[in-house]
Amino acid sequence: MKLSREFYRQDGIKLGKALLGKVLVHESEEGITKGIIVETESYMGVIDAAAHSYKGKRDGRCNIQYNEGGYAYIFMIYGMYNCMNIVANKENIPEVVLLRALEPLEGIDIMEKRRKNAKLKMLLNGPGKLCQGMGITREHYGLDLCSSKLYLEEPANSEEFEIETSKRINIDYAGEAKDYLWRFTIKNNPYVSVKVK
């Protein structure tokens, strides 16, 4: 079952945790790919020095963050890797959740082709790898995740798991925000990008 708009209207930290175990689906021309979300990071807008919308920044790239929850915020890092975020909360509260890692579920042959036959555990274990394997590009920026093509759904078989919290990755520039425990992972899942210390 596809996730409803109401699911995305929670604050960024709650959404970061709630997304774990949900399934990201991309219906592309090459076929359908699916992965279970196993790692997220929350970025809390105007109060978070690691967020693109810190202090109310609202340039072209950040505009979609001011929508209500349930839209795709895609940006590029290092001039080559796309990262997928999900807009959280209500309109004009620019909070997002970065998808950091997925456990491959369906369309693995398509993922392997896109990722040049990477090993299964390496297919989607990082935000750039995730987008490459799932075929997500900046063309998906602003897509409504409550429509078709790119969306989230409940897993067919939901299993209980423990959530671990830790510091977010590669945000040393963010002052005290670099120490916020706003990274969420499924404990002991082998598909996370970086093991929790």
Distance CA 89, CA 65 (A): 10
Token code pair at residue 69: 């929850």
Does any domain span residue 123?
yes
Q: DSSP label at 55?
A: G
| Residue 118, pLDDT score | 86
Helix runs in 106-179, H state only: 108-114, 127-134
Does any domain span residue 195?
no
Answer for the pair 103, 124: CB distance below 8 angstroms, yes or no.
Answer: yes
Lowest mean pLDDT among 55-69, 160-174, 181-195: 55-69
How many domains would you assign to the chain?
Answer: 1
Judged by DSSP in three states, 39 sits in: strand
- Please write the tens of the pLDDT for every residue from 71-118: 999 998 877 899 999 999 999 999 999 999 999 999 999 999 999 988
Does any domain span residue 191?
no
What is the domain extent for residue 52?
5-186
The separation between CA 98 and the C-alpha centre of its own chain, rounded to angstroms, equals 4
Is the pLDDT assigned to residue 58 strictly greater than 90?
no
Q: What is the CA radius of gyration of the chain?
A: 15
Judged by DSSP in three states, 79 sits in: coil
The domain that holds 12 is classified in CATH as: 3.10.300.10
CA angle at 24 for the pair 22 and 26, rounded to the nearest 5°: 160
Instruction: Band the pLDDT of 197: cuts 50, 70, 90.
Output: confident
Instruction: Band the pLDDT of 169: cuts 50, 70, 90.
Output: very high
Does any domain span residue 95?
yes
pLDDT average, residue stretch 14-22: 98
pLDDT averaged over every residue in the chain: 95
Does any domain span residue 168?
yes
Distance CA 105, CA 57 (A): 37
pLDDT average, residue stretch 161-187: 96
Does any domain span residue 40?
yes
Does any domain span residue 75?
yes
pLDDT average, residue stretch 30-41: 98
| Residue 60, pLDDT score | 78
In DSSP terms, 164 is beta-bridged to 185
Is the pLDDT assigned to residue 59 strictly greater than 80?
no
CB atoms within 10 A of CB 114: 20
Does any domain span residue 197?
no
Phi, psi of 10 (to 5 degrees): -80, 165
pLDDT average, residue stretch 39-58: 91
